[in-house]
Amino acid sequence: MFFLLVNIPTNATWKQNGVTIAGGHGEGDATNQLYWPLSLFVDDDQTVAIADNWNHRIMQ
């Protein structure tokens, strides 16, 4: 398994309220649900991919 630790600057600021970009509709196998998300990948153009382990799929 490969993990990447990102260095977050000490002066980083965070949003008070975020936006849900994946899931948010409970566990399940529908396209708007995740069941045991395992990893997250963000590429250079900020496309997000999530490995949904128990549904055996990658969601983008």
Q: Is the pTM of this model over 0.75?
A: no
pLDDT of residue 6: 76
Q: Where are the domains of the chain?
A: 34-60
pLDDT of residue 8: 81
What pLDDT is recorded for position 2?
A: 66
pLDDT, averaged per 10 consecutive residues of the chain (60 residues), comes to 75 86 88 90 89 93
| Cβ count within 10 A of residue 52 | 19
d(CA 58, CA 54): 11
| Number of other residues whose CB lies within 10 A of the CB of residue 34 | 24
pLDDT on residue 34: 92
Q: Which residues pair with 59 in a beta bridge?
A: 50
